[in-house]
């Protein structure tokens, strides 16, 4: 355990003006408060806040942050109170401690709801003072370092939470060193087999490559020096989780990955970064399409660097990162480095960053604006994870305004990023001057023009297409309002018809007075409840002081609903975006289900064929954009099923096929077609393709997940054509 004087010495070494008395008092107070408490490892509990303080001291943070780290668990886990912290250490430190204290005794039914509320409190505290985040991340990092002492089931939950929330949060705030360590530890817990395989491959690769890393370092250093550049060059192998993530993202095997080695070139000034880039490209051949300039277009977390990939010695692909020393500090430590390098240091180096507020702080405030829209804990967690995980692309409006979006964003996300009203009224888009489907994935540098119509209402299926939390929340609100309006209209008609039979006029003012008796806020809410069937029209009439036969109410509802249905869609498929006289059919090879992104291709004389966006068959229409039709799923009728074809690799053993059909049946799927093929030259496996009918994408994923869990099933995947 670190002694009291050792912690003080660490802090005063980088901050001679640190308040030593405050540090000493906090050390003693926390040690006494935690007393004889023990951690899962058996060591004294006080060692945990002490190690958290040590991590923050390595980042050279201010005294208040170090003190908050020492005290961060006192209110939650000891007899200490928030008022005591205020009295003994002042309101500033007490505010930090309060932001780090979980909400106690929450009346929540689920763990998810409790997690969401605690996360909401943490994010709000972070938006007021980012030091809360720094302490929380250091706290989580030390917990991850000691995770092997925790029970397996809890270990899995903590690792998953870290991977989904805290590691990407550290990345968003630019703290890459903490993110990398968290992800590697969590990866080892969640997927130990994959981690072992990658580590073994790296060891073998390092042995086979010998001194190649050193050879490249020496050669590059000489070239840079010969061109008058003083630079530090260092090479490294990429981390296991980073390699795994790239394999998943690009659908590559470990043997197909070529740029496992990465080199970092550190120089003094920004102009030297571009000069060094020229030297690198003159020395080795650049790989086309692998250059990124994050200096002129920094990431949302303030990360700045030049990235390029070259063919180095021995035909080895090598990734190069070129940046200044200050950029490197911010890349590793993010917001924790800003306090050290904001004014004087950057002025001396010529390394300019935003003067008043970093991108990371702006992103944090934007995140809070988006998350305030969440209607439920589930939505809050969903939007948080969406905002945390995505990387960026930079697009432009026709007037040249720069819009930063997550990787995989579509024109729908772009429209909502410009303004909510633009998104709500979007009916089409042009990308780089050409009409493009709304499901198009935008790329860096795209110029996007949104085509609008005030008569447009965002279809519910857009929520599955959008990737930003802002767009999803806005679509959910807009479609919810539209659906509510439809149900209110249906309810109004039912009530009007019943009142007409009673020879009683529909008077809005009378209904306004009756609404409180019905338990609703206003007339539209009450009528929408009638339309949904949540409120009986009979109760509305009773609230108005009238009586009517209940059978008559049910008959009226059936008549109105039938007429509405007859006048709505002519298609059996609940698809929006096609002209009313066009026949629709689903591509038979892949199938398509609600929840998946879909696109239509016009077939002369046949109508429109619906394809899932991942269908290989779409490639044949790349040169015929005039045949593409933007489609989106509407609302399916209750119980309606849709086809999806899946491929199953099945172990050749007794009862294997029975397991597949049993799983599909138990999970409510319907087998429409089944084909079993024995692999030539492979005796142990069969290939099985099944066309199953499901309600939506979630239903399909549940079936595929259940299949994967069976011992006879080697793999399950959608057929892409």
149-202 residue pLDDT tens: 988 888 998 998 888 778 888 887 778 889 999 999 999 998 898 888 888 887
d(CA 592, CA 595): 9
- Residues 663, 683 within the same domain: yes
Q: Percent helix, strand, coil in the chain (nearest 5)?
A: 50, 15, 30
Instruction: Please give the sequence-ordered ranges of beta strands (E in DSSP) within 268-365, or none if there are none.
Output: 285-286, 292-293, 306-311, 317-324
CA–CA gap between residue 139 and residue 119 (Å, rounded): 15
Q: How many domains in the chain?
A: 5
- What integer best gives the mean pLDDT of the chain? 80
**Beta carbons of 134 and 336 less than 8 angstroms apart:** yes
> Is 679 within the bounds of a domain?
yes
Query: Is residue 453 included in any domain, yes or no?
Result: no
Rounded to the nearest 10 degrees, what angle do helices 359-371 and 469-501 cross at?
A: 20
DSSP string, 452-487: E-TT----TTHHHH--SHHHHHHHHHHHHHHHHHHH
- Of 349, 373, 394, the residue at which a domain comes to its end is 349
Last-in-domain residue among 349, 380, 408: 349
Q: How far apart are CA 82 and CA 678, in angstroms?
A: 69
Q: What is the pLDDT of residue 53?
A: 94
**379 has catalytic annotation:** no
Residues 270 and 126 in one domain: no
User: Per-residue confidence at 665, pLDDT binned at 50, 70, 90?
Assistant: confident
* Active-site annotation holds for 77: yes
Give the separation between CA 462 and CA 8, rounded to whole angstroms.
Answer: 55
What are the φ/ψ torsions at residue 435 (nearest 5 degrees)? Answer: -60, 135
Rounded to two decimals, the pTM is 0.53
Rg (CA), the chain: 30
Give yes or no for a contact between 692 and 671, defined as CB atoms under 8 angstroms apart.
Answer: yes
Q: In what order do the strands lie in the sheet with 584-586?
A: 584-586, 607-612, 598-603, 628-630
Round to whole Å and give the CA distance between 126 and 121: 9
Q: Are 311 and 224 within one domain? A: yes
Do 485 and 340 belong to one domain?
Answer: no
Domain assignment of residue 483, yes or no: yes
124-128 average pLDDT score: 66
Q: Is residue 430 part of a domain?
A: no
Question: Tens digit of pLDDT for each residue in 618-629?
Answer: 888 888 777 888
pLDDT, residue 347, reads 37
In three-state secondary structure terms, 116 is helix
Asked whether residue 660 falls in the same domain as residue 698, the answer is yes
Q: Does residue 344 register a pLDDT over 80?
A: no
Q: 538 pLDDT exceeds 80?
A: no
**Residue 355: what pLDDT?**
38
Task: Tell me how far apart the alpha carbons of residues 141 and 162 are, in angstroms, rounded to a whole number.
Answer: 9
User: Which residue from 300, 271, 482 is spatially nearest to 394, judged by alpha carbons?
Assistant: 300
Q: Are residues 614 and 647 in the same domain?
A: no
The pLDDT score that the predictor gives to residue 129 is 76
Beta strands 317-324 and 306-311, pairing class = antiparallel
Whether 624 and 681 map to the same domain: the answer is no
What Cα–Cα distance (Å) separates residue 369 from each residue in 309, 414, 469, 582? 38, 17, 10, 42
Q: Decide if pLDDT at 65 tops 70.
A: yes
Residue 105, pLDDT score: 39
Choose among 338, 334, 358: nearest CA to 346: 338
- Beta-bridge partner residues of 600: 610, 629
| Sign (positive or negative) of CA dihedral 486, 490, 495, 496 | positive
Helix (H, G, I), strand (E, B) or coil at 236: strand
Q: Are residues 326 and 254 in the same domain?
A: yes
Torsion of CA 430, 433, 434, 440, to 10 degrees: -50
pLDDT of residue 455: 74
Asked if 585 and 602 sit in the same domain, the reply is yes
Sequence-distant (6+) residues with CB within 8 A of 484 are 524, 528
* Band of pLDDT at residue 31, cut at 50, 70 and 90: very high
Among residues 77, 268, 525, 672, the one annotated as catalytic is: 77
446-461: pLDDT as tens digits: 889 999 887 777 877 7
**pLDDT confidence of 307, banded at 50, 70, 90?**
very high
- Determine, yes or no, domain membership for 611: yes
Helix (H, G, I), strand (E, B) or coil at 688: strand
Residue 434's DSSP bridge partners are 431
User: In this structure, are residues 96 and 75 in contact, taking their beta carbons and an 8 Å threshold?
Assistant: no
Q: Residue 646: give the domain boundaries.
A: 642-718
CA separation for the pair 466, 464 (Å, rounded): 6
- DSSP character at residue 162: I
pLDDT over threshold 70, residue 293: yes
Please check whether residue 69 lies inside any domain of the structure. yes
Query: Which of 163, 188, 213 is the last residue before a domain boundary?
Result: 188
198 and 73 in a common domain: no
**H/E stretch holding 665:** helix 656-666
* Residue 356 within a domain: no
Q: How far apart are CA 707 and CA 696, in angstroms?
A: 17
Same domain, 655 and 557: no
Q: Sort 411 into a burial class: Cβ within 10 Å, 0-12 / 13-18 / 19+.
A: buried
Among residues 76, 196, 653, 673, the one annotated as catalytic is: 76
Indicate if the pLDDT at residue 107 is higher than 50: no
Q: Residues 574-619: pLDDT tens digits?
A: 887 776 556 789 999 999 999 888 998 988 767 889 999 989 998 8
Is 338 inside a domain boundary? yes
- What pLDDT digit, counting tens, does each position of 380-423 carry? 555 555 555 555 677 888 887 778 787 788 999 999 989 989 99
Are residues 662 and 613 located together in one domain of the fold? no
């Amino acid at each position: 355990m670190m002694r009291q004087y050792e912690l003080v010495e660490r802090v005063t070494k980088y901050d001679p003006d640190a308040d030593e008395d405050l540090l000493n008092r906090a050390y003693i107070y926390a040690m006494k408060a935690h007393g004889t408490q023990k951690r899962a490892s058996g060591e004294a509990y006080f060692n945990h806040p002490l190690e958290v303080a040590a991590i923050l001291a390595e980042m050279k943070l201010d005294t208040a942050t170090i003190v908050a780290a020492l005290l961060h668990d006192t209110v939650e886990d000891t007899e200490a109170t928030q008022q005591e912290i205020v009295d003994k250490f002042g309101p500033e430190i007490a505010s930090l401690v309060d932001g780090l204290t979980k909400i106690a005794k929450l009346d929540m039914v689920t763990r998810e709801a409790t997690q969401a509320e605690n996360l909401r409190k943490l994010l709000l505290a972070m938006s007021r003072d980012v030091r809360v985040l720094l302490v929380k991340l250091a706290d989580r990092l030390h917990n991850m370092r000691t995770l092997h002492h925790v029970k397996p089931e809890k270990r899995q939950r903590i690792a998953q939470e870290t991977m989904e929330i805290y590691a990407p949060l550290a990345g968003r705030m630019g703290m890459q060193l903490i993110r990398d360590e968290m992800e590697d530890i969590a990866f080892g817990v969640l997927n130990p087999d994959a981690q072992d395989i990658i580590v073994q491959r790296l060891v073998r690769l390092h042995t086979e490559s010998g001194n190649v890393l050193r050879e490249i370092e020496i050669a590059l250093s000489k070239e840079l020096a010969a061109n008058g550049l003083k630079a530090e060059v260092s090479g490294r192998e990429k981390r296991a989780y980073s390699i795994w993530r790239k394999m998943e993202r690009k659908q590559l095997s470990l043997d197909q990955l070529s740029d496992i080695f990465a080199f970092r070139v550190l120089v003094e000034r920004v102009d030297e970064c571009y000069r060094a880039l020229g030297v690198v490209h003159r020395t080795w051949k650049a790989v086309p399409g692998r250059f990124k300039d994050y200096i002129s277009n920094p990431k949302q977390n303030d990360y700045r660097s030049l990235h390029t990939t070259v063919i180095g010695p021995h035909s080895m692909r090598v990734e190069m990162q070129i940046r200044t020393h200050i950029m490197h500090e911010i890349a590793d430590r993010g917001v924790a480095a800003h306090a050290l390098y904001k004014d004087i240091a950057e002025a001396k180096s010529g390394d300019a960053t935003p003067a008043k507020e970093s991108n990371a702080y702006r992103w944090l405030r934007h995140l809070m604006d988006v998350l305030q829209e969440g209607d439920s804990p589930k939505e809050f967690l969903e939007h948080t994870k969406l905002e945390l995980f995505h990387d960026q692309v930079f697009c432009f409006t026709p007037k040249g305004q720069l819009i930063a979006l997550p990787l995989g964003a579509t024109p729908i996300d772009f429209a909502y990023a410009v303004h909510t009203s633009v998104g709500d009224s979007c009916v089409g888009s042009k990308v780089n001057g050409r009409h493009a489907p709304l499901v198009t994935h935008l790329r860096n540098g795209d110029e996007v023009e949104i085509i609008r119509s005030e008569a447009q209402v965002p279809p519910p299926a857009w929520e599955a297409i959008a990737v930003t939390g802002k767009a999803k929340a806005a679509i959910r609100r807009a479609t919810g309002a539209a659906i509510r309006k439809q149900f209110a209209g249906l309810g109004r008609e039912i009530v009007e018809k019943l009142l007409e039979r009673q020879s009683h006029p529909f008077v809005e003012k009378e209904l306004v007075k009756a609404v409180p008796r019905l338990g609703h806020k206003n007339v539209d809410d009450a009528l929408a409840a009638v339309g949904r069937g949540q409120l009986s029209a009979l109760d509305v009439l009773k609230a108005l002081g009238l009586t009517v036969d209940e059978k008559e109410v049910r008959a009226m509802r059936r008549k109105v609903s039938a007429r509405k249905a007859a006048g709505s869609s002519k298609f059996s498929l609940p698809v929006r975006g096609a002209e009313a006289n066009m026949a629709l059919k689903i591509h038979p090879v892949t199938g398509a289900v609600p929840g998946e992104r879909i696109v239509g291709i016009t077939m002369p004389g046949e109508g429109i064929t619906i394809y899932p966006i991942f269908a290989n068959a779409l490639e044949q229409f790349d040169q015929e954009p005039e045949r593409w039709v933007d489609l989106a799923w509407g609302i399916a009728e209750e119980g309606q099923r849709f086809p999806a074809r899946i491929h199953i690799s099945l172990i050749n053993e007794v009862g294997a096929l029975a397991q597949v059909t049993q799983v599909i049946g138990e999970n409510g799927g319907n087998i429409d077609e089944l084909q079993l093929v024995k692999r030539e030259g492979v005796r142990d496996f069969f290939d099985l393709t099944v066309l199953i009918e499901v309600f939506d994408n979630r239903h399909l994923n549940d079936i595929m997940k259940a299949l994967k869990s069976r011992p006879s099933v080697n793999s399950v995947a959608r057929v892409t054509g």
